[in-house]
Amino acid sequence: MATTNAGAPSAQGETATAASPKPVTNDFSIQIATVNGSGSQSANSVLLRSIFAMGVPVSGKNLFPSNIAGLPTWFTIRASKYGYVARRKEIDILIAMNAETAREDMLSLRPGAAAIYEETANLKQYRDDVTCYPVPFDKLTAAVCPEAKLRKLVKNMIYVGVTAQLLSIDMKAVEDSLRKQFAKKQKAADLNWAAVEAGFNYAAQSLTKQDPFVLERMHATEGKIIIDGNAACALGAMFAGVTVVTWYPITPSSSVVEQLIDYLKKYRVEEDGKASFAVVQAEDELAAIGMVLGAGWAGARAMTSTSGPGISLMAEFTGLGYFAELPGVIFDIQRVGPSTGLPTRTAQADLLFIAFLSHGDTKHVMLLPGSVKECFEFAGAAFDLAEQLQTPVFVLSDLDLGMNNWMSDPFEYPDKPLNRGKVLSAEQIEEMKKSGGWARYQDRDGDAIPYRTLPGTDHPQAAYFTRGSGHNEKALYSERPEDYQNLMERLARKFETARTLVPAPLVVQTGKSKVGIIAFGTSDFAVTESRDQLKKEYGVEADYLRLRAWPFSREVRDFVASHERIYVVEQNRDAQMLSLLKLDLPAGETPKLRSVRHFNGLPIDARSVTDEIVLQEGI
C-alpha cells in the first residue's frame, strides 16, 4: 500500500511512490522502541491517555526485559474505533528510539507503515515502502533542556509532540494528560511540556504528512476509566474486606500488593491512627501461604499474590488448606515458565499445575477474570467462595492483564454483604445439641460443606483439632480406611457444589453455527476480534463461550454438545484448558475439541487465532 501525497516527496517524510493514500482513521497501532530505564514510560502513558481523552478506544502493552536497565523495550498503543483491544500483529507506526534495534524494527514493518526516528540513524536506507520521518531528537532536546543529565528523559517527550502533530492529536488532551502525569512536580511538568511543544512545532514546520494514519475525536470513552489488572485486583481485595496480606515480591504480581498497601493506608486506617489490616512481607512464598491459611483459620480474610515459581513453593501448604479445609485467596499473575522462564512475558500456563496443586488427590477452585472489571469483581468473589467452601481459592490473571493499562467501565460498588459461610456462634452450637451435636467435618446439609467455628467462640464444644493427617468427621485423628475414604469422597462432593457457586461462563450462541470457540482470560480480546474476522472474511459465524471459573458449570457441557467442532483457544504449549475440558466432558464429546495455542510470550492476537481456525476448518 502506497503512503504518499500526490505531489513530489519532500526531504522530510519520504517514500518511494506518489499515490495519494486513503486515510486510515482511528484504527492503527503505534510501536515505541526504547531502552529499559530510559524514562519512556511517562511519555508512553501521556500518548495513550491523550488518545483516550479524544474519545478513541485505546489499549497499551509494554514489552520489557527482565533486567533493571539497558535492554530493549517496546510499548505498543492500539487505537481502534471498533473497540478492539487485543494486541495487533501488524505495526503501522514505528517510533524508533533505540539505535540497537532500529534496523530490525524497521525491517519488521509491513509495507505502507510509517517510521519516526533520530535523523542520524538514516533508517530510510533499509526500506523504500515505508514513510520516513527523520527527527533531530538530540538537537531539539538540547534546546529545551539545559541540564545534560535530564536530556535522556526529556527526549521521550519530543516524540510525543511529533506524533501528536502527525496524527492530529488534540494538544489540549496532550497537555492535560502530561500535567496529570506530573501532578506533584510542576517544574518537571513545565520542562516536559516544553519538549512536547518543541517536537510538535518541528513536525509542523519541517515534516510533510505522507502516511494515511490520523486520529479524529470520538465519544467512545466517555465515562470510562483506565486501570491495570493488578490495581483492580487490589481494589477488589480491599472492598472484599481483606485484613491479612502476606507476600513475597515476584514479577509480575508484586504490584498487586504494592498498590493494595497504598489503598489500605489511605482507606483502612482509623481516626486514632490504628490500621485495621496487617501486611507482612514473608521470607518466601512458602511462609506467605502458611500465614494466609493460619489467618484464615483464625477468621481473617487473608490473601497472597505470586506467580508460577511462587506457586511451586506453595504446593504442600495448599494441600493442607484443601485437606484441613482452610480458607484463603491466592492471586496468580501468570508468566512464562518453566523455571525462571521469561519473567516479563505473558502466558496462561499454570492451569493444570494449580488445578491439582499438592500431592495426593486435590482439586482447587480457579477464577479466570477476562477484564480489569472482572479482576475487581472476582477478587470479592474469591474471598466469599474461600469462606463458603472453606478452601484455598485461586484467581488466575496474567502479565498482560495485570501489568498493562486497560479501558473499562467504572467498577460498581459492592451491594451485597460479605458471605462468611458456615460459621457457628455459641448459640448455634448449643442448638445443634438437639440434633446430635456439631462435628467439624460432618456434612449436615447435603452440600458436603461442614460447619466451622472460630477461635474464641465461647462454648465448651467449639474447639477442635485442625490437622493435615487423617481425621474423621469429628476432627479426631484416624487411620481407619473408611474414615479416609469418606473424607475424600465428601471433598469431591464439595467440589461438585462449587460448580453451582463459581461465576458462570458467558455464552454468545445463535443456535445455527456448527462451530464453537471456547477461551478464557485475556484470550477473550483476541477471540472477540477473530470472530468478526471469521464472519467478515470467510462467512463463518462461530459461537463463543468464555470460561470464567473451574470447576465448569453445566453450561459448558451444553455448549459442547450443541456443536460439531469446538476450538479451545489458550496461551500455553500443552493445551492445558483443553485437557481440563477432556477430564470433565463425557467421553463421546471430547473428539469435538480442537486446539488453538499461542505460547511465544507475546499477548495473543486475533489474526493468529483466525488463521489457525481457517487452517483447521480447511477453508
Q: Inform me whether the pLDDT recorded for 20 exceeds 80.
A: no
Range with the lowest mean pLDDT among 294-298, 339-343, 381-385, 614-618? Answer: 339-343
Q: Percent of the chain having pLDDT more than 70? A: 96
Q: pLDDT digits over 238-260, tens only?
A: 999 999 999 999 999 999 999 99
Q: Inform me whether the pLDDT recorded for 2 exceeds 70.
A: no
Q: pLDDT digits over 526-549, tens only?
A: 999 999 999 999 999 999 999 999
pLDDT of residue 39: 84
Domain boundaries, given as residue ranges, for the chain: 24-214, 227-408, 426-499, 506-617
Q: pLDDT digits over 299-340, tens only?
A: 999 999 999 999 999 999 999 999 999 999 999 999 999 999
Among 2.40.10.10, 3.40.50.970, 3.40.50.300, 3.40.50.720, name the CATH number for the domain at 227-408: 3.40.50.970
pLDDT of residue 64: 87
**Whole-number average pLDDT of the chain:** 95
Residue 77: CB atoms within 10 Å: 24
CA nearest neighbour of 598 among 536, 500, 545, 527 = 527
pLDDT band at 14 (very low <50, low <70, confident <90, very high): low
Note the pTM of the prediction, 2 decimals: 0.94
Average pLDDT over residues 585-611: 97
Q: How far, in Å, CA of 524 to CA of 370, rounded?
A: 7
Q: Inform me whether the pLDDT recorded for 273 exceeds 70.
A: yes
The distance from CA 393 to its chain's CA centroid, rounded to whole angstroms, is 18
CA nearest neighbour of 93 among 242, 264, 248, 209 = 209
φ and ψ at residue 227, rounded to 5 degrees: -155, 155
Q: Inform me whether the pLDDT recorded for 69 exceeds 90.
A: no
**Containing H/E element for 471?**
none
Residue 389 to residues 140, 327, 382, 478, 501, Cα–Cα distance (Å): 62, 8, 10, 23, 9
Q: How far, in Å, CA of 213 to CA of 102, rounded?
A: 21
Q: 19-23, 180-184, 589-593 — which one is most confidently predicted on average?
A: 589-593
Q: Which has more confidence, 3 or 227?
A: 227
Q: How far, in Å, CA of 593 to CA of 556, rounded?
A: 12
Beta strands across the sheet bearing 392-398: 278-281, 244-247, 302-306, 328-334, 392-398, 365-367, 549-550
pLDDT band at 11 (very low <50, low <70, confident <90, very high): very low
Superfamily of domain 24-214: Pyruvate-ferredoxin oxidoreductase, PFOR, domain III (3.40.920.10)
The distance from CA 314 to its chain's CA centroid, rounded to whole angstroms, is 22
Q: How far, in Å, CA of 393 to CA of 498, rounded?
A: 11
Bond before 57 cis per omega within 30 degrees: no
Q: How far, in Å, CA of 336 to CA of 416, rounded?
A: 37
Q: How far apart are the first and last CA of the chain?
A: 26
Range with the lowest mean pLDDT among 67-71, 250-254, 364-368, 375-379? Answer: 67-71
pLDDT of residue 16: 43
Question: How do beta strands 565-570 and 72-80 pair?
Answer: unpaired
pLDDT band at 405 (very low <50, low <70, confident <90, very high): very high
Average pLDDT over residues 188-206: 97
pLDDT band at 582 (very low <50, low <70, confident <90, very high): very high
φ and ψ at residue 427, rounded to 5 degrees: -65, -40
Half-sphere exposure of 549 (CA within 13 A, CB side): 28
CA 604-610-615 angle, 5° bins = 120
Average pLDDT over residues 447-468: 96
Fold of 506-617: Rossmann fold (3.40.50)
Identical fold at 227-408 and 506-617? yes
Q: Inform me whether the pLDDT recorded for 132 exceeds 90.
A: yes
pLDDT of residue 36: 84
346: burial class by Cβ within 10 Å (0-12, 13-18, 19+)? buried
Q: Inform me whether the pLDDT recorded for 221 exceeds 80.
A: yes
Half-sphere exposure of 422 (CA within 13 A, CB side): 20
The distance from CA 362 to its chain's CA centroid, rounded to whole angstroms, is 26
Q: Which has more confidence, 149 or 300?
A: 300
Average pLDDT over residues 494-519: 97
500: burial class by Cβ within 10 Å (0-12, 13-18, 19+)? exposed
